[in-house]
Amino acid sequence: MLPERWVLASASPRRRTLIQLLGHPVELLPVSIDETPAPHEDPAACAARLALAKAAAGARLAPDALVLAADTVVDLNGAILGKPEGVEEARAMLQALRGRPHHVHTAVALYHPWQDELLLEVATTQVWMRSYTDEEIEAYLATGDPLDKAGAYAIQHLGFQPARRVEGCYAAVVGLPLCHLARALRRWGWSPPEDLPTRCQSTLGHACSVYPDILAGEENRRSKNHEGPGGSLTRSR
């Protein structure tokens, strides 16, 4: 049994839109943590650590609630591309990604207060960027959109449309892998809406071929049990 109150430890409007597709009321509870990668940190491990830290911060603010948290890291050949600090850095990121493949790791951490248990899922998606022009980069920078995005881009941006191919969960690149989240919640006895994949595809305008394997637990399986606030959740701050 899950708490009636669910909170999303995020201020992201993209995650807010996606999590509403679960069909359960979710409160937004923005948290502030240090998102600086550790020296030589593996990108997927960085995403997991930061999601755990956000879940820990959310649990302290809402100790009676089911806490959901996520973090997204863009991985270019092992280099972590976070949110750019300004236009120059955003331009450099977009130029570095242009015409090349990279990986996007989105970790989702869920904390159950009654069971003092944490679940972690990490979704990894490979993205091939198209060979957009310098003029397209400048037009996109002028929108201001890249400045609050990991890797300086939103894959779903209709004006820029930076990707030519995606292999894996598209929603993970947007910021919240819904089927991975639903898979984790199912381990606590919660049943996701049967039409969740349809809702996700309709909202994002992207046809998905991987959701059956994800929901069956056969793709990107990195789910783990963790201790609650007295254990690894607290130590992940």
CATH code for the domain of 108: 3.90.950.10
pLDDT score for 224: 47
Residue 152: inside a domain: yes
Distances 176 to 16, 18, 35, 83 between C-alpha atoms, Å: 9, 7, 17, 16
Give the C-alpha distances (Å, rounded to integers) separating 8 from 13, 104, 204. 11, 21, 20
Q: Report yes or no: 47 and 16 within 8 Å, Cβ to Cβ.
A: no
Express as a percent the part of the chain with pLDDT over 90. 88
What pairing do the DSSP bridges indicate for beta strands 79-81 and 101-112?
unpaired
Residue 145 lies in a domain: yes
User: Does a structural domain hold residue 113?
Assistant: yes
The model's confidence at residue 218, banded by pLDDT at 50, 70 and 90, is low
Percent of the chain with pLDDT over 70: 92
The confidence score (pLDDT) of residue 119 equals 96
Is 201 among the domain residues?
yes
**For 133, which DSSP code?**
-
pLDDT single digits (tens) 168-179:
999 999 999 999
Q: How many domains does the chain have?
A: 1
Flag whether pLDDT at 223 surpasses 80. no
SS3 helix, strand, coil % of the chain, rounded to 5?
A: 40, 20, 40
Does 42 qualify as catalytic in the annotation? no
Mean pLDDT of 149-173: 96
Whole-number Å distance between alpha carbons of 220 and 125: 9
- Assess whether pLDDT exceeds 90 at residue 110: yes
Q: In whole angstroms, what is the distance from residue 107 CA to residue 152 CA?
A: 18
Rounded mean pLDDT, 223-236: 38
Determine which one of 34, 64, 71, 148 is catalytic: 71
Q: Which residues lie across from 122 on neighbouring strands?
A: 107
* 148-164 mean pLDDT: 95
Determine phi and psi for 137, rounding to 5 degrees.
-60, -45
Q: How many CB atoms lie within 10 A of CB 39?
A: 5
- Domain enclosing residue 59, as ranges: 6-235
Closest of 43, 158, 142 to residue 87, by C-alpha: 142
Say if 109 falls within a structural domain: yes
Lowest mean pLDDT among 65-74, 161-170, 220-229: 220-229
Q: Does residue 1 lie in a domain region?
A: no
20 within domain boundaries: yes
